[in-house]
Amino acid sequence: MRAADLMVECLAAQGADRIFCVPGESYLALLDALRDDARIDTVVCRHEGGAGLMAVADAKLTGRPGVAAVSRGPGATNASIAIHLAQQDATPLVALIGQVARDERGRGAFQEVDYAAMFGTIAKAVWEVADADHLPEVLARAWQTAQAGTPGPVVISLPEDMLGDETSVPVVPPLPLPSARPAADEVARAAALLARAERPLLIAGGALAHGTSRAALARAAAAHQIPVALTFKRQEIFDNASPLFAGHLGFKIPRAHVEALARADLVLAVGTRLGDTPTQGYTFPRAPVPDQPLIHVYPDPGVVGRLHRAEIALACDPTAFLEALAASPATPSEARSAWAAETGAKGAATKGYAPRSNPDGVDFGAVVAELARNAPPDTVITTDAGNFSSWVHRVWPWDGGSLAIGAAGGAMGLGIPGAVAACLRLPDRRVIAFSGDGGAMMTGNELATARAAGARPIIVIANNGSYGTIRQHQERAYPHRTAATDLANPDFAAWGAAFGALGLTISRDDEAPAAVARALAHDGPVVIDARTSLEAISANATLTALRTG
């Protein structure tokens, strides 16, 4: 059997059913093998960065490794943004990258790159398959490695001549994923510590995004009356309308809210690595020694207690821990109930938003609110990186029905490719992408991929003519000294129409209802150009306030 054909058999055996690619001569044999195989959908993308970001989004939806295939050299470097994002977001990804022929390695051949050197610090593993007989083993290990412990990216380098070799080795079936359930005595210790606490807080992270995790989180929180704060870009894992919702630990959280949460006398960090964003720069919980007892639960022993001293450190399945905690005896005190009510009220306040009139453009919050009122409750939301996302986090209800795909690692460009991937994975659900004008121009060419694949996302672009996040930092540090943040944009409605989408423009707040109604009624891709206020730089700040301190 040709190695490329064996590789397709191995991919199918590991559960791969879709590959996002940009073709290259370095892996033509694999493309040829995929051509006639109905088990794996090959999605042709317009840029390797877009292909990689689609694979990341697909993995976020399924919990299984997303797969991207790109060519050597420039293809690999273009895809690196997605590989880095997968590492930052703990998302399983397998990147298949073409390589020069084996007899050319190390000789500075055309587009040659040492992938181990290039990706060694951001990928969990980088393997080059020099012998076709090793393909089944390497692919099985790649799937296991991408998902075990802290999920992340694995890079597989494929010399182009190797893919044409003949081989007769068998396929290796999926390798078991290491998983540990919490020991009964560990759960009992955690429950005892919780029983003594009057002001506990549960910080819930991305490892709770799939399967039965959300239900287990809701049961544990309700049984013990524990307020729940969510980590950055993880709004969907707990009902934001719950009286136990304590807010979202992302960027630009009001200091008073963080200080209120920091009154907790016990923190349960479940399914989170407790990085700099949810801990507000390692101040809550404080690193390396928190101000309150910490119970840290995460599936990777290399993460638990790494940055914060934990009273109880459990390297186990966080969902199993929550299920066991929910089943443990619970007798919340009056003080606990009062704390839960107080914290829940503060969490609810973070969701409140009153639209405001701005002289220089549309209130983006009003556009988001109009979509939230009219879109189906199970809408899939993809959110690009940028200040505009503060309205999405705050205004969208996140009441248990919607799914969220966002870039916790802050990479611009996920919104539109992510929406294409979501449409393909969940074709019966409405998909809405929120993007800024900066991110839209980075990967908006993937609207061509949407059109070719029959995907029908609604793309909503917050067009304020600026790299808004950088402008906000700039105005705070150097008031009135704008540098390199102004943008000259196309007519995004006409731009969308050029890709075959319905193009709509919102120039005034009162135009939002009609535009949203047309978008939701249209059976095809839609681009909404929301010409938003720059003065209202985010849901929480204005340029005037930033300049005056």
CATH number assigned to the domain covering 3-164: 3.40.50.970
The reported pLDDT for the residue numbered 125 is: 98
Ordered alpha helix ranges (H), 38-121: 48-62, 74-88, 115-119
The reported pLDDT for the residue numbered 211 is: 80
Whether 549 shows a pLDDT value over 90: the answer reads no
Q: What is the mean pLDDT of residues 278-287?
A: 93
| Residue pLDDT, tens place only, 307-318 | 999 999 999 999
Confidence of residue 103 (pLDDT cuts 50, 70, 90): confident
Q: Please give the Cα distance from 57 to 457 (Å, whole number).
A: 14
| Residue pLDDT, tens place only, 178-203 | 888 999 999 999 999 999 999 999 99
The reported pLDDT for the residue numbered 410 is: 86
Whether 356 shows a pLDDT value over 90: the answer reads no
The reported pLDDT for the residue numbered 101 is: 82
Confidence of residue 108 (pLDDT cuts 50, 70, 90): confident
The reported pLDDT for the residue numbered 422 is: 98
The reported pLDDT for the residue numbered 400 is: 82
Whether 443 shows a pLDDT value over 80: the answer reads yes
The reported pLDDT for the residue numbered 18 is: 98
The reported pLDDT for the residue numbered 102 is: 80
Q: What is the DSSP string of 391-414?
A: HHHHHS---SS-EEEE-TT--TT-
The reported pLDDT for the residue numbered 301 is: 95
Whether 109 shows a pLDDT value over 80: the answer reads no
Please check whether the two domains, 3-164 and 364-548, share a CATH topology: yes
In DSSP terms, 527 is beta-bridged to 459, 503
The reported pLDDT for the residue numbered 401 is: 86
Q: Is the pTM of this model over 0.85?
A: yes
Q: Residue ranges per domain, the chain?
A: 3-164, 184-349, 364-548
In the block, tokens 């960027």 appear at 251
The reported pLDDT for the residue numbered 115 is: 93
The reported pLDDT for the residue numbered 110 is: 79
Whether 448 shows a pLDDT value over 90: the answer reads yes
- Least Cα distance to 388 among 427, 362, 422, 409 occurs for 362
Choose the CATH number for 364-548 among 1.10.560.10, 3.40.50.1860, 3.40.50.970, 3.40.50.1450: 3.40.50.970
DSSP state of 466: B
Whether 7 shows a pLDDT value over 80: the answer reads yes
Q: What is the mean pLDDT of residues 69-83?
A: 97
Choose the CATH number for 184-349 among 1.20.210.10, 3.90.1150.110, 3.30.530.20, 3.40.50.1220: 3.40.50.1220
Q: Give the range among 140-149, 212-221, 473-482, 517-526 with minimum mean pLDDT.
A: 473-482
| φ, ψ (nearest 5 deg) of residue 99 | -140, 160
The reported pLDDT for the residue numbered 105 is: 83
| Residue pLDDT, tens place only, 457-481 | 999 999 999 999 999 999 989 998 9
The answer to whether the CB of 316 falls within 8 A of the CB of 336 is no
The answer to whether the CB of 18 falls within 8 A of the CB of 67 is yes
| Residue pLDDT, tens place only, 15-47 | 999 999 999 999 999 999 999 999 999 999 999
- Residue at 113: amino acid letter: V
Q: Please give the Cα distance from 207 to 205 (Å, whole number).
A: 6
Q: What is the mean pLDDT of residues 99-103?
A: 85
The reported pLDDT for the residue numbered 242 is: 95
Mean pLDDT over all residues of the chain? 95
Whether 408 shows a pLDDT value over 90: the answer reads no
Q: What is the mean pLDDT of residues 74-79?
A: 96
Q: What is the share, in percent, of the chain residues with pLDDT greater than 70? A: 100
Q: Please give the Cα distance from 405 to 58 (Å, whole number).
A: 9
Q: Locate the DSSP E strands across 448-549.
A: 458-463, 502-506, 526-531
> Greater confidence, 433 or 544?
433
390, burial (CB in 10 Å: exposed 0-12, middle 13-18, buried 19+):
buried
